[in-house]
Amino acid sequence: MGKNNNANGKKLFGTDGVRGVANVEPVTAETALKLGRAAAHVFKNSPHKRHEIVVGKDTRLSGYMLETAITAGALSMGVDVLVIGPLPTPGVAYITRSLRADAGIVLTASHNPYEDNGIKFFDRDGYKLDDDIEKTIEGLVFSGAIDSIRPTAREIGKATRIDDALGRYVEFAKASFPKGMTLEGMRVAVDAGNGAAYKSSRCILRELGADVVSLNDKPNGLNINASCGSMFSDVIRKAVIDHKAQVGIAHDGDADRVLMCDENGHLVDGDDILAVIALDYLANGFLKNNTLVATVMSNSGLDAAIKAAGGNIVRTPVGDRYVIEKMRELDCNLGGEPSGHIICRDYATTGDGIVCALQVLRIMKQTGKTLSQLAKCFHRFPQVTVNVRVKEKKPFEELPEVTRLVKDTEKALDASGGRLLLRYSGTEPLARLLIEGKDKQTIEGYAERIAKVLREKIGA
C-alpha cells in the first residue's frame, strides 16, 4: 500500500504499483475509475492514432470490481480497452507489447492474501512505469485537472475481450525454450497457488512434452495464495516426493516469481536459480557484459560463485523494479531476487516465473544433470540477521559509535568476501542488521557488538 509521505512524495503508488485491502482506499472502485481516467489521459498523448490499454488481472474476487471500474475510467476518456481476464503479470506485459497497445494494467496483489488487491501499470514496451509517470498520474487523480474532459458520442472508448490472450502467452513462453528440445520423460510438479498461472504453466509444460502434476489450479476468488504457492513451499516439496517428480515449480499469485525444488524435495530459491542460469550463461557466452544484477538481499556466496566463473555482480535496492532499471541501464540480460523474481531479459520485460523455470529445465536437459546437482554450484555464506527495536530512526551517520563499528566490521568482512547491511525497516520501528561471512561464530560476534551499540543509542 502506498504511503502518504514516501520519499518520492507519492500518495498512491508504492514500490510496486498501488496496493492495499480491496474496497478500502486506495484500492476502491472510485479510485480505480480515477486511475483509469488519469492513465488513459497520460498514455493518449503518445503518437498513436488509435489508443488502447490492455487490462488483465489475477484470480481475486475483487478483480471483477476493479476491472470494471478501471475500464470505465479509460473508456470515459476516449481510449479503447482490451480486456484479457486472468493472466500472469508477465503475460499482461507481453500482450501489451504484442497488441501494440499504449499501456497495460494488471490488477493483482502478488503473493498477498485474497483480501488485498493492487493496480500495476506497464508502458507500451511492457516495462513498469518510472516514478515521474506515476507522479503525473497521481497528480491528475488528485488535482481534478481532467474532470472536464468528457468525450461524447462516437469519441467514447470501446471495450473488447481478447479471447486468445492465454494462447498468445503460452506460445510466447514456449518460444523461450529451444526448438527441437522437449521435456519428454520429465515429470514436473507445478503449484499455481490458485493464481493467475492456473492454466498457463501446466499448458506450457504439457505442450513441451512434460508429464505435469498440477496442484492448486482451481481458483474460486478466495483461495489465491491460501496455504499454497511460492509462499508455502512445503506443498510443492511434498508433491515432488509423493509423485516422484524430477522437479517442482511454485508460483505466487500473479506468477511473476518462481521457487523450485529438486528431486529430493529440497527448496531451490531465487539465489540458487540465479546461480544456475548465470553460470550457464557465462559458460556459453550468453551473459551480457558478464554481469548479473541482484539486490542487496542476495547471499554473498552468489558473488563468490559468479566471480570465480569470470563474471561480475551489480547490486540494487530491494525490489524487482530496481533490478530491471539497473538491467536496462547496463544492458544486462539476467537479474533477480531471492524471492524468485527473476528477469530473463532476452525474453521478458519483467519477472516471469515460467520463463525462468524453463531456463532451468533447459539446462537440466542439456547437461543431463539433476537440479540438486546443478544447485551445488552455489554455496551460501552463513548469515546472521538481527532486528533492533528503536525509539527513533535517527540517520546512522549521526551515530558515530555505530558508523565506526560498522566500518571496522566491513573492513574485516571484505577480506573474506563477506558483507554487512544495516537499514531501517520501511514499515516498523526496527533497525535491521544483516551480516554474512565464511565463519558463523565470527559474524555472530560482529552482529552482537553492533546490536548492543544500537540498543544503547536508539533502542526502544
pLDDT confidence tier of residue 148, bands split at 50, 70 and 90:
very high
Domain boundaries 383-458, CATH class: alpha beta
Reduced to 3 states (helix: H, G, I; strand: E, B; else coil), residue 190 is strand
Task: Classify residue 231 by its DSSP letter.
Answer: G
**Domain layout of the chain by residue ranges:** 18-162, 169-265, 268-352, 383-458
- What are the strands of the beta sheet with 419-424, ordered from one edge? 383-389, 430-436, 419-424
Pick the CATH number of 268-352 from 1.20.810.10, 3.40.120.10, 3.40.50.2300, 3.30.9.10: 3.40.120.10
The domain defined by 18-162 folds into Alpha-D-Glucose-1,6-Bisphosphate; Chain A, domain 3 (3.40.120)
The yes/no answer on whether domain 169-265 falls in CATH 3.40.120.10 is: yes
As to burial, measured by CB atoms within 10 angstroms (0-12 exposed, 13-18 middle, 19+ buried), residue 428 is exposed
The pLDDT tens digits of the residues spanning 363-413 come to 999 999 999 999 999 899 999 999 999 999 999 999 999 999 999 999 999
Mean local confidence (pLDDT), 283-292: 98
CB burial of 272-289 (b: ≥16 within 10 Å; e: otherwise) equals bbbbbbbbbbbeeeebbe
**Global pTM value:** 0.90
Instruction: List the catalytic residues.
Output: 110
The pLDDT tens digits of the residues spanning 31-84 come to 999 999 999 999 987 666 779 999 999 999 999 999 999 999 999 999 999 999
Rounded CA-CA distance 197/258 in Å is 11
Rounded CA-CA distance 197/268 in Å is 20
Reduced to 3 states (helix: H, G, I; strand: E, B; else coil), residue 251 is strand
Same topology, domains 169-265 and 268-352? Answer is: yes
